[in-house]
Amino acid sequence: MSQRDLAGLAAAHLRRPGLVVLCGAPGSGRSTLLRKVAATAAGPEFTGGGLAMLATVPALALSRAVKARLPTHDVPLLAEAVRSRVRGGLLVVDDLQYCDPATLAALPHLAAHIRVVVALRTPHRISPAVVAALRAAATAWLDVPALSSGDAEDLARRTAPQLTDAQVAAVVARAGGNPLAVVTLARHTGTGRGTPQDDIDQVAYAIATALADLPRPARTALAALGLLGRPAPAALLGPGAAALAEAGLITGDGTGVVPVSGYFAETAAGLLDAEARLELHRALAGLTPDAEAARHLAAAGDAQGAYRKALSAADRTAGTDRGDLLLFACDLPGVNPDPRVRIAAADALLAAGRPHAAARVLTTAASLGVEADVLRGEALLQAGDPVSARDAVRPVPDAAAAAVVAARDRILLLAGLAADPSGALDAAEKIAARYPAPPPGVAAALAAVRAAHRVPGWDTQLAAAGTERADPLTGRWSSWLLVEHLVADARLTEAAAVARQAATVAATTLAYSWQTRFLAVADWADVLRGSRTAHPGPADPDSADPASADPATAGTDAEVGSVADDAVRRSGDLADRALPADARGYAVAATALVEADTGLLAAARGRLSRPDTHPAAAWVAREAAWLDGQPDRAAEAATPGSGAGAGLLAGLREITARWAAFDSGTSARAGSGARSWSGGVAGGPITDTGPPIPAGLPAVARDTLTAWATGTGFPAVAGAWHGVVLREQIRCLLAAGLRDTDPQQAVGALLEAEKLADEAGLVVLAGRARRGLRRHHVQRDSRSPRSGSRLTRREVDVLRLVAAGEPTRRIAGQLGISTETVDTHIRAGMRKLGARTRTEAAALALTQLEPSDARSDREDGR
């Protein structure tokens, strides 16, 4: 494939959100091809790239692209900040091999929402794990091919028109299809020097011969650019800058001069002899800021000078940059850093979310003191090694400073909870005895241990630990534990309220990842509960500033409807953003469950098509399969490792597995009168020895499984689900309708199930109730529309997009109408179809499409 064809292929991949990687050797024309692709693709360009000497500056490449300072402490927030600025444009990142970890981590998030094209030089030093993540996220990974003979000849003639045919052929033969080698060899041959005949690296030879023609100051200036690895003022390069500009080897980019080819400059630096390179590093150290000077001095062999410069630079910065500089100082060979420097480095690295590096910098042969011991224990705990964390803090004596002892006890509690849960409660009571008024960190750890064992009052203690008196991280962590435990205990109303309050607090501190986690789990709790709710929306949910675009309230101001509509709207908006894994798992699970329950099974399948190990999404995938009449797939919920979850989720998984076994006719104790749901008869007892009932389930879930095991008690359990999980209340009534041998009792349960399902818009469960009623010869007419009018074409278009899971603002954008007009069409469709929710209206609208349209929609949903 030619480079021209490759550019067209890359542009074709960029017609929709995705990541295209152009990979090639030095001089292969990656950057040129990148510019061609950007020129071909539609929309505005946002162009940035990595810089060799500034490869540790967080998000530098992305900041250069969007020309804004970006949040670097939170990768999902970083990705969201870039997405909100690029939107329908094209993000172009050159020299990916010089990009920092934050940029590399953000690219997979961005690829799901915007178009991204990057250029990567090979070889590079990006870790295999990062490369694997990029490959998994990439729409296309394209190797830049060598120039064809014709293209190479054309390039050689354009570069040196005076060459004869024989000279052009010699240049092309020696260049091996590398554009940089073609250009440089053509220029060299045009001077009358001919081409080499030895089998050598033609790119290196071409660069070396080109440099030989430059005056010494120009060669030194080009080598300096190679060592700097970033734009530089022309004055810093000295008199050689003018010669480089005349030779066309440098150009200006608004921030200084840069080499036309970065590899050219790097090779120029590499061609210096050892002493000249050291001398140039020493000279650059005197001309650059302390942070850069430290690295130049280290390269020149002056470790002590580099140490002093790094500490000086660290004193004037904060955050990730400070952690990087202090870590650099501690890693210098031949230097014995002061213990206070190691402690400061570990503290900064922990604040930047790098616990492994923090633990490493504190790991020494000699003891660094008790303060370092607790800091190392904290780092190991955050790194997921509770046993080593516990061992690290055990030497800290009770006589140490109060703050150090408190930190030690907190780590012992949390490490014990992770490594030895059964013994953690005893340890907690012993530690609690030492603290009449425990510090916030210890109080949070005590609450976490007591919550894990459900000691009375655990929820009040966790709520107190999550208040503003605690440090922000401890408060958010405690609130998250509280929400997860409340959900596990089926206390969904309380969980949603706590989560929304915590999301509001997180938003005030720009803790985006925490904010979206809390919002997503709140929607999940609301969807499971199934009651009616309403949440107002902001005036501008599409704000370019992610800090001001509050995902807690994204939606239409005046829209007040069922929890299904609200959850689809809010979770759909969340899903359009770059999210941490927990938030995405809950948002996908909430939206897909509503879609499946309201009959939009194709949309739910599409949303759940990507493998997801999140327990909520894993259960919804099996539940949607059961609703779709695929009990074999639904039974996979009981498979180990499929995202089982705990508490309520574990109970729901087991309940779905019982229904799947019954529907497939594999229930061990289904009784002679019971067959699969689709072909069985009423009156037979539903019993199922099945697997044993797991421990740790909420009482209502355990009672449901007991009813399956005994074949009795479904009506009572249905009442217990009231106000907890509406759909499970309906399913217990369905089971009661099948179990009861008294037709009157069975019909009563099925009628109640039908009524509740209809009121909530749970189309599939309502249909199952009506099928059960027909077996008792109770005929139910389908609810007719409230208006005899047919849907208009525009109403159909809007409802089809609702069925596809699109939120209001995106429907408006696709159809070129306002959000208010979209809401008007949805309300009109609901009125005509007799639907109570927008999702129910969308499901009913699909039945009114022409056969060809309906078939097309089904195919799109696969």
Query: pLDDT tens, 506-532?
Result: 888 778 888 889 999 999 999 998 854
Are 646 and 696 within 8 A, CB to CB? yes
pLDDT of residue 745: 86
Are 290 and 313 within 8 A, CB to CB? yes
pLDDT of residue 471: 74
Tokens of 862: 């696969």
- Across the chain, mean pLDDT equals 81
Residue 163 has pLDDT above 70, yes or no: yes
Largest pairwise CA distance in the chain: 106
- Closest among 236, 194, 184 to 214, alpha carbons compared: 184
Least confident of 133-142, 176-185, 714-723: 176-185
Measured CA to CA, the distance from residue 825 to residue 840 in angstroms comes to: 14
Q: What are the tens digits of pLDDT across the range 383-406?
A: 889 999 999 999 999 899 999 999
pLDDT of residue 688: 47
Mean pLDDT of the 763-772 span: 86
- Strand 45-49: give its sheet, edge to edge: 45-49, 90-94, 115-121, 18-24, 140-143
Residue tagged 């359009």 (tokens): 576
Name 187's Cβ contacts closer than 8 Å, sequence gap at least 6.
159, 160, 210
Tell me the range of 129-143, 160-174, 245-259 where mean pLDDT is highest: 129-143
Are 735 and 746 within 8 A, CB to CB? no
Residue 756 has pLDDT above 80, yes or no: yes
pLDDT of residue 342: 95
Burial class, 409, CB count within 10 angstroms (exposed 0-12 / middle 13-18 / buried 19+): buried
Helices (H), 689-818: 699-710, 714-721, 726-739, 743-760, 763-775, 793-803, 808-815
For residue 310, which amino acid is it?
A
The bridge status of strand 115-121 relative to strand 140-143 is unpaired
Tell me the range of 177-181, 306-310, 534-538, 608-612 where mean pLDDT is highest: 306-310
Residue 266 has pLDDT above 80, yes or no: no
Q: Band the pLDDT of 691: cuts 50, 70, 90.
A: confident
Tell me the range of 345-354, 579-588, 713-722, 783-792 where mean pLDDT is highest: 713-722
pLDDT of residue 606: 80
Mean pLDDT of the 750-761 span: 88
Rounded to two decimals, the pTM is 0.71
Name 236's Cβ contacts closer than 8 Å, sequence gap at least 6.
224, 287
Residue 681 has pLDDT above 80, yes or no: no
Tokens of 251: 């150009």
Tokens of 642: 């499929």
Q: Which DSSP category does 85 fall into? A: H
Measured CA to CA, the distance from residue 636 to residue 604 in angstroms comes to: 17
Are 729 and 759 within 8 A, CB to CB? no
Q: 569 vs 71, which has greater pLDDT?
A: 71
Residue 579 has pLDDT above 60, yes or no: yes
Percent of the chain with pLDDT over 70: 83
pLDDT of residue 839: 80
Angle ∠(128,134,139) on CA atoms, nearest 5: 140
- SS3 (DSSP) at 45: strand
Measured CA to CA, the distance from residue 805 to residue 741 in angstroms comes to: 42
Which whole-number Å values give the CA distances from 55 to 94, 96, 205, 280, in the listed order?
13, 10, 28, 20
Residue 341 forms beta bridges with which residues? Answer: none
Residue 232 forms beta bridges with which residues? Answer: 257
Query: SS3 breakdown of the chain: % helix, strand, coil, rounded to 5?
Result: 60, 5, 35
Cis previous bond, 233, omega within 30? no
Least confident of 85-89, 283-287, 606-610: 606-610
What is the torsional sign of CA 560, 563, 566, 569? negative
- Estimate to the nearest angstrom the gap between the alpha carbon of 132 and the chain centroid: 15
pLDDT of residue 115: 94
Q: 653 vs 638, which has greater pLDDT?
A: 653
Mean pLDDT of the 92-97 span: 93
Cis previous bond, 123, omega within 30? yes
Measured CA to CA, the distance from residue 558 to residue 114 in angstroms comes to: 30
